[in-house]
């Protein structure tokens, strides 16, 4: 599950965010993995595609969704992931493995100041306690100034990644997925 940062400042890295997700889907390390993705974006409005996951081999739907996110109007200021995270908590059934990937990873791209970060973290805590499946929250940042906010989201600096190279970031994401799947 990927949360795109399409804020006033986050829009500057939106193409990098999209490239990371695209490479993640195209380069699954094991063709037997049943990985699905949910793409969410916060810009001027929220983009959620009804929170229904896209199988990684459904390239048509995947690229339509990525295109919609790329063309989304960016926010004119800071964003909050609170609404989208709350919607995920209330509308998605992350513990249903026939719909969602077993042991999902929630990825927050952070390239701006995030409003309502404490409230969003409370929702994440509730999700981690409510769902019977293991959930890992990770953050991808594009400069070290966002480390503090990203660590607050993940509760562990090991789950924060500074993206300099998209290929290396994708490998890091796969390693996070493999660690939680063990």
- In three state form, how does the secondary structure of 59-87 look? HHHHHHHHHHHHCCCCCCCCEECHHHHHH
Per-residue confidence (pLDDT) for residue 139, from 0 to 100: 98
Q: Is residue 8 part of a domain?
A: no
Asked if 120 contacts 85 with a C-beta cutoff of 8 angstroms, the reply is yes
Question: How do residues 91-124 score in pLDDT, each as one tens digit?
Answer: 777 666 655 666 788 999 999 999 999 999 999 9
Residue 89 domain-assigned?
yes
pLDDT level of residue 182 (50, 70, 90 thresholds): low
Q: pLDDT class for 32, splitting at 50, 70, 90?
A: low
Question: What is the structure's pLDDT at 96?
Answer: 65
Q: What range does the domain containing 30 cover?
A: 13-181
- Condensed to tens digits (0 to 9), the pLDDT of residues 14-31 reads 999 999 999 998 887 655
CA 61/CA 38 separation, integer angstroms: 11
Q: How many domains does the chain have?
A: 1
pLDDT at 10 over 60: yes
Instruction: Provide CB contacts within 8 A for 94, sequence distance 6+.
Output: 88, 100, 104, 127, 131, 133, 135
pLDDT at 169 over 60: yes
Tell me if 1 is assigned to some domain: no
Residue 50: the pLDDT is 65
> 117-158, pLDDT tens digit by residue?
999 999 999 888 887 677 889 999 999 999 999 999 999 999
CATH of the domain at 73: 3.40.50.410
179 against 13, higher pLDDT: 13
Q: What is the pLDDT of residues 56-102, one digit of tens each?
A: 777 888 899 899 999 999 999 999 999 999 988 887 776 666 556 66
On whether residue 52 sits in a domain, the answer given is: yes
Q: How far is CA 16 from CA 105, 162, 177, in A?
A: 19, 12, 20
Asked, for residue 157, whether it belongs to a domain, the answer is yes
């Amino acid at each position: 599950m990927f949360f795109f940062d399409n804020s006033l400042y986050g829009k500057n890295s939106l193409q990098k965010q999209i490239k990371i997700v695209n490479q993640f889907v195209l380069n699954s390390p094991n063709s037997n993995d049943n990985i699905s993705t949910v793409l969410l974006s916060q810009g001027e409005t929220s983009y959620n595609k009804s929170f229904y996951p896209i199988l990684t081999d459904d390239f048509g739907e995947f690229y339509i969704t990525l295109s919609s996110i790329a063309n989304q109007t960016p926010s004119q200021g800071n964003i909050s992931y609170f609404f989208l995270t709350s919607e995920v908590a209330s509308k998605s059934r992350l513990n249903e493995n026939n719909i969602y990937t077993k042991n999902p990873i929630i990825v927050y791209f952070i390239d701006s100041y995030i409003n309502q970060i404490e409230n969003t973290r409370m929702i994440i805590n509730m999700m981690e306690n409510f769902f019977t499946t293991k959930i890992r929250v990770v953050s991808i940042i594009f400069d070290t100034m966002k480390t503090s906010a990203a660590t607050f989201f993940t509760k562990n600096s090991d789950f924060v990644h500074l993206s300099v190279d998209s290929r290396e970031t994708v490998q890091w994401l796969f390693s996070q997925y493999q660690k939680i799947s063990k």
